[in-house]
Homo-oligomer: A and B are copies of this chain.
Amino acid sequence: MPQVLLYGFPTRVSCPSGRAVPSRANLARACHGAQQKHAWPSACISQRDYFSAVLGSFSNVFGALQKGGVRSYRSTRPRRAAAQTAFASAECSEEFVELAHKLADAAGEITSAYFRTKLDVENKGDESPVTVADRAAEVKMRELINEAFPDHGVYGEEGGLDIRKGEYVWVLDPIDGTKSFITGKPLFGTLIALVKDGNPILGIIDQCILKERWVGAAGRPSTLNGVEICTRKCGPVGEAFMYSTTPLMFEGDTLRQYNQLAEKVRIPMFGCDCYAYGLLAAGFCDLVVEADLKPYDFMALVPVVEGAGGILTDWQGQRVKLDLTSMLDGSPSRAYEVIAAGDQATHEAAMQILNE
């Protein structure tokens, strides 16, 4: 009888290790103590129930969307140790989470309508294709933010930086993975982050075609379609399944560093964009290592990964922040290298190899 991850179907899930969200100090320990190597630690149902459960799951999510989104869709099982919350002491208001769901719903409606359709693909300066959907979704999300919180700033891939007087900034990437999008591959995602004083306190990864939504928010465990998720313990780096979007994102020093690590992991893989971080947060891979990223490419990923017990930093181990000061100074937009790992030991070992 296999153990099955049943996201989007919380009423069938039982978790004997459920507990209230613990303190920051022991969260990682508790979470990883429950992990088995390369195993999903919860949610047992019988094989016989699988098909009806999955079918029910999709129907539920579709139904929820037709009624206005999955934001009312909450896990009913007891809370358990599911987060290494480096941001556990921060606060994220429920109204921010609700708005983030609303943004994801709106962006998903627009991008879904253009998926696998005829589009005039344009070239930007950096040669990445940008679609009509990308721009329309960001315009819509900016409208919704301005309506709800007119003093919140917005920084988006398409529309740039719009700073207001408040301490909050929303960081948006309507379609992370435009190359996947325009070739009909349903692994692109909408990334929505809320940053307070430069620190991401809320993140959503939304895959609108597969109806998969990861949510991370300060002080609470990350979820996939409303069900709490947890990273897995990897063991030695030589056993790590590692994702990067493409080897072409590395060059010069970062290529040399990446190659050092790629030679030592179990399998280096490609082609996932933000979806890889969702897989890591849900315990299906061990490392995501990328370069040449902009803040809108990874701000939303931090709360999702950290709220699931993982860790996401730059290649020097520094927590990533939105550096508004240099952005407002007109400094050239810098590129970031990012490493995400399911557990602290794997993160440290991988960083050491990157920096040898």
Asked whether any CB of chain B lies closer than 8 Å to the CB of A70, the reply is no
Is B185 touching A275 in the complex (CB atoms < 8 A)?
yes
Within 8 A of B (CB), among A111-135: 112-114, 116-119, 121, 129
In the bound complex, residues from chain B placing their C-beta under 8 Å from that of A4 are 113, 116-117
Interface hit among A26-34, A46-54, A78-86: A46-54
Q: How many subunits of this chain does the assembly comprise? A: 2
Which size bracket describes the interface of A in this complex?
35 or more
**Alpha-carbon distance between A114 and B3 when the two chains are bound, in angstroms:** 8
Residues in chain A within 8 A of chain B (CB atoms): 2-5, 36, 38-40, 47, 50-51, 54-55, 58-59, 62, 65-66, 109, 112-114, 116-119, 121, 129, 179-180, 182-187, 210, 241, 243, 246-248, 267-272, 275, 279, 282, 284-285
The 10 closest A-B pairs by CB, nearest first: A271-B271, A184-B284, A270-B270, A2-B117, A3-B118, A5-B116, A39-B118, A183-B285, A270-B271, A50-B113
Jot down 11 A-B pairs with beta carbons below 8 A, ordered by A.
A2-B119, A4-B116, A5-B117, A38-B118, A55-B66, A58-B62, A129-B267, A179-B269, A183-B279, A186-B210, A269-B271
Q: Apart from A47-B113, A183-B285, A247-B247, what 6 extra A-B contacts exist at CB < 8 Å? A: A39-B118, A40-B118, A183-B279, A186-B210, A187-B271, A210-B210
